[in-house]
Structure 1
């Protein structure tokens, strides 16, 4: 079986439904393998759009969104979307192509060290140098992307490696239980809320998780505590015409606290 076939099967095994990207010479083997896959390829006009679409899938579902590009300038176009996903905590996987690494007659045309370029903007970045490594690297990349704090990951699949044969198979995926706060910590939080004379919720990017949103919305509805959001926390609790919403913070911490204090006094009055 071709390495690209195993790559696609490994992505299917991770329940990836869409790949956003642009076809190119360096990812033709992977595209050919996708022809017989249940994964839907969504072709975009620019790699940056593909990256943002993948990051948005991660934001809305809590599962890895996937995007695909060729080498060099195509891959570097993912940079802004990678930074967006990494800073905001959205699970996202970028798969980029590369010229053959074992033997190439094209010199250094468009060859950029994308693995190193992506290192400051991702949680995990790796070049696949052997088809037998595909299952373990895909499993590791998805695991790292989805575990707290979620973010962007990157795999580079060189053209010659994608076309080699391998006998490897996808690794099984086992569900991971999320950590639960200790009972004493929960009791202490409840006590703090009850004893507070002016309780106020600050909803930030850390609350922008699919499993957290529902519980947080129920909490706000039940306790009726006014709340503010950071820019990345906006939308976690539906804030359209919500009387408990005070503001969305775009200030530095000191200015923001002063602003919220005065806004809260006006709101209470």
Structure 2
């Protein structure tokens, strides 16, 4: 079996239905393998759009969205969309082409170390050197992308690896349940909430998960606790919610901070006060 066919067969094992991207010389074998598979291909005008589309698919479904590009400038064009997926916690697999590992007749033409470039903005960035490792690498990539906290994974498929022969079997996708919360921790949290006079919820990007909105809306309606969104937490609860105080964080001391100042308990959902350069002092 051709290695690119094995790659696409493993994508099918992962349940991939759609792929977004832009063709190039270095991913023609991959494109030909997709053509023969039951995967719908969306050709975009720019690689950045492909990454944004895959990130949106991942955020809305919880399944990793898949995008692809050729090497060099095609791969660098995807960087913004890949970083977006990583920032919002959207599972995404970015596949890029690369020059041949052996007998590269074009030397350094458009050769960029995309694996190193992607490492700071992904959960993992890896290049496939042995075609028989394709099932293992692809299976691991989807697992990492979809595990908490979801994010982006980059896989590089060099041109000569894609066109080579492989004899490895595909790997079955396992069934993994979400971890159960600690019951004693839930009890302690409930005690704090019941004792609070002016509790307040802060929602951030980590709350953008499947099934959270419905359960959270029920919790808010029952407790009548007001909600503040960070900029990255928009969309978890709609602005038409009667207990929404909208977003904070654009200005250091906006009106929402009045509610934060009065709160005697802050319930953070999907919010990390230590992320980036934002301190709790600048937010509160």
* Residue of structure 1 in register with 2:275 after alignment: none
Q: Distance in 2 between matches of 1:23 and 1:4?
A: 14
- Matches of 1:182 and 1:67, distance apart in 2: 37
Unpaired segments ≥5 residues, structure 2: 264-284
Aligned length: 263
Give the match for residue 267 of structure 1. Answer: none
**Partner in structure 1 of residue 273 of structure 2:** none
Q: What's the CA shift for 1:65?
A: 0.4
Post-superposition Cα deviations, 1:199-238, rounded to whole Å, max 9, x if no partner, equal 1111111111113222212212222211111112111122
Equivalent residues in 2 for 1:50-129 (5 A)?
50-129=50-129
Deviations 1:108-147 (A, max 9, x none): 1101000000011111111111110100000111111111
CA contact (8 A) 2:228 2:256 kept: no
The alpha-carbon distance between structure 1 residues 113 and 236, as it changes in their structure 2 partners (threshold 3 A), is same
- CA distance in structure 2 between the aligned counterparts of 1:70 and 1:143, rounded to whole angstroms: 24
1:168 maps to: 168
The Cα of 1:245 is off from its aligned counterpart by 0.6
Please give the secondary structure, in 2, of the residue aligned with 1:7. helix
Contact persistence 1:82–1:121 (CA under 8 A): yes
Corresponding residue of 1:183: 183
Distance in 2, matches of 1:243 and 1:203, equals: 15
Are residues 82 and 224 of structure 1, via their aligned partners in 2, closer, same or farther at CA, if it must alter by over 3 Å?
same
Whether 2:248 is the aligned partner of 1:249: answer: yes
Distance in 1 between residues matched to 2:252 and 2:88, nearest whole Å: 18
Aligned to 1:23: 23
Cα separation, 2, equivalents of 1:256 and 1:193: 24
The answer as to whether partners of 2:21 and 2:67 remain within 8 angstroms in 1 is yes
State the Cα distance separating 1:255 from its structure 2 match. 6.4
Q: In the alignment, is the contact (CA less than 8 A) between 2:248 and 2:256 conserved in 1?
A: no
| Structure 1 residue 244 displacement after superposition | 0.6
> What TM-score comes out, normalization by structure 1 length?
0.93
**Compared with structure 1, are the counterparts of its residues 103 and 248 closer, same or farther at alpha carbon in structure 2 (3 Å cutoff)?**
same
Aligned-partner Cα distance in 2 for 1:228–1:85: 23
Contact 2:248 2:254 in 1 (8 A): no
Instruction: Report the aligned-residue RMSD.
Output: 1.7
Gaps of 5+ in 1: 265-269
Deviation at 1:180, TM superposition (A): 1.4
TM-score by length of 2: 0.88
